[in-house]
Structure 1
Amino acid sequence: MAKKSTAIDVTQGVIWQQLLSLCVPIFFSSFFQQAYTLIGTYIVGQFGGKLALGGIQATMVLTELCIGFCVGVGAGCAVITGQFFGQHDDERLSRSVHTAMTLALVGGIVFSILGIVFVEPMLVLMNTPHELLAEGVAYARCYFAAMVAALLLNMGTALLRAVGDTRGPALIIASGCLVNVVLDIIFVAVLHMEALGCGIAVALTICSNATMIVLRMMRAPGAWRLSLSRLGIDRGICKSMISCGLPLGFQSAAYSISNVLIQVSVNSFGADVTTAWGLSGRLDGIIWMVTEALGVSITTFSAQNFGARNYERMRKGYHT
Structure 2
Amino acid sequence: MASNRDMTSGSPLTVLINFTVPLLLGNLLQQTYSIVDAVIVGKFLGINSLAAVGAGTSVITLILGFCTGCCCGFGIPMAQKFGAHDYLTLRRYIFISLKISAVMSIMIAIITSLLCSDILGWMKTPEKIMNKAYIYLLITFLGIPFTFFYNLFSSILRAIGDSRTPFLFLALSTLINILLDLLTILLLDWGVTGAAIATVLSQGISALLCYIYIYRKYDILKGSKHDKKFDLRIARQLLYIGIPMGLQVSIIAIGMIMLQSANNSLGTVYIAAYTSAMRIKIFFVCLLESLGIAMATYSGQNYGAGKPERIWLGIKSALKIVIVYVLILNIIVWSFSKELVLLFIDSSEIDVIENAALFIRISAIFFIVLGVSFIFRYTIQGVGYTRLALFSGISEMLARTFVSVFAVPIFKFWAICFGDPIAWTFAVLFLLPAFKFVNRKSLLINN
State TM-score, norm by structure 1: 0.93
- Contact 2:91–2:227 under 8 Å retained in 1: no
Alignment partners' CA distance in 1, 2:61 and 2:227:
31
Alignment of 1:108-257 (within 5 A): 108-225=105-222, 233-257=230-254
CA deviation vs aligned residue, 1:89-146 (integer Å, no higher than 9, x gap): 1111001111222222111101110121101111112211111111011111111111
Shift of 1:253: 1.5
Aligned counterpart in structure 2 of residue 275 of structure 1, from 251, 272, 275 = 272
Change (3 A) 1:278 1:108: same
- Residue 53 to residue 229, structure 1, CA distance change in 2 (3 Å): farther
Per-residue deviation, 1:319: 3.0
The more displaced of 28-37 and 113-122 is 28-37
Following the alignment from structure 2 to structure 1, what is the Cα–Cα distance between the partners of residues 67 and 227?
22
CA deviation after TM superposition for structure 1 residue 19, in Å: 1.6
Distance 1:141 1:226 in 2: 37
283-292 or 242-251: bigger deviation: 242-251
State the shift of 1:197 in Å.
0.8
The answer to whether the aligner puts 1:44 opposite 2:41 as a matched pair is: yes
In the TM superposition, residue 230 of structure 1 has moved relative to its aligned partner by 6.5
The CA deviation string for residues 9-43 of structure 1, in whole angstroms up to 9 with x for no partner, is 12233333222211111111112222332122111
Give the secondary structure class of the aligned counterpart of 2:275.
helix
For 1:138 and 1:42, the matched residues in 2 are separated by 19
In structure 2, the partner of 1:94 is 91
Task: Name the structure 1 match of 2:309.
Answer: 312
Structure 1 residues 178 and 318, CA gap change in structure 2 (3 angstroms)? same
Residue matched to 1:263:
260
User: Which runs of 5 or more residues in structure 1 are unaligned?
Assistant: none
1:32 corresponds in structure 2 to 29
Displacement of 1:165 = 0.6
Cα deviation for residue 231 of structure 1 reads 5.3
C-alpha distance in 2 between matches for 1:281 and 1:226: 43
Change (3 A) 1:200 1:296: same
The Cα shift of 1:226 comes to: 7.8
TM-score, length-normalised on structure 2?
A: 0.67
CA change 1:313–1:267 in 2 (3 A) is closer
Alpha-carbon distance in 2 for matches of 1:7, 1:104: 24
1:219 is paired with a residue whose SS is helix
Tell me which residue corresponds to 2:443: none
Aligned pairs, how many?
Answer: 317
Q: Tell me if structure 1 keeps the 8 A contact 2:33–2:199.
A: no
Q: 1:206 to 1:128 in 2, by over 3 A?
A: same
Greater RCO structure (CA 8 Å; 6+ sep): 1
Deviates more, 1:260-269 or 1:228-237: 228-237
Q: Deviations over 1:248-281 (max 9, x none)?
A: 2222112211111112222222333222222221
- Whether the 8 Å contact between 1:96 and 1:234 is mirrored in structure 2 is no
Give the match's secondary structure for 1:287: helix
Secondary structure of the residue aligned to 2:165 is helix
Amino acid at match of 2:277: S
Q: Indicate if the aligned counterparts of 2:88 and 2:227 stay in contact, CA closer than 8 A.
A: no
Cα 1:297–1:271, aligned 2, differ >3 Å: closer, same or farther? same
Out of 170-179 and 44-53, give the one that drifted further.
44-53
Whether the 8 Å CA contact 1:48–1:189 is kept in 2: the answer is no
Q: Report if the CA contact (8 A) 2:24-2:286 is conserved.
A: yes
Q: Quick one: which amino acid aligns to residue 14 of structure 1?
A: S
Tell me how far 1:156 sits from its aligned partner: 0.9
Residue 36 of structure 1 aligns to a residue whose secondary structure is helix
Query: 280, 285, 292: which one pairs with 1:295?
Result: 292
1:235 is aligned with what amino acid?
L
Q: Which runs of 4+ in 1 moved over 3 A?
A: 225-233
The 10-residue stretch of structure 1 (209-218 or 34-43) with the greater mean CA deviation from structure 2: 34-43
Separation of aligned partners in 1, 2:97 and 2:80: 14
- Do 1:69 and 1:250's aligned partners in 2 also have CA atoms closer than 8 Å? yes
Q: Distance in 2 between matches of 1:273 and 1:92?
A: 51
Question: Within 1, Cα distance between the matches of 2:148 and 2:227?
Answer: 19
* 218-227 or 10-19, larger mean C-alpha shift: 218-227
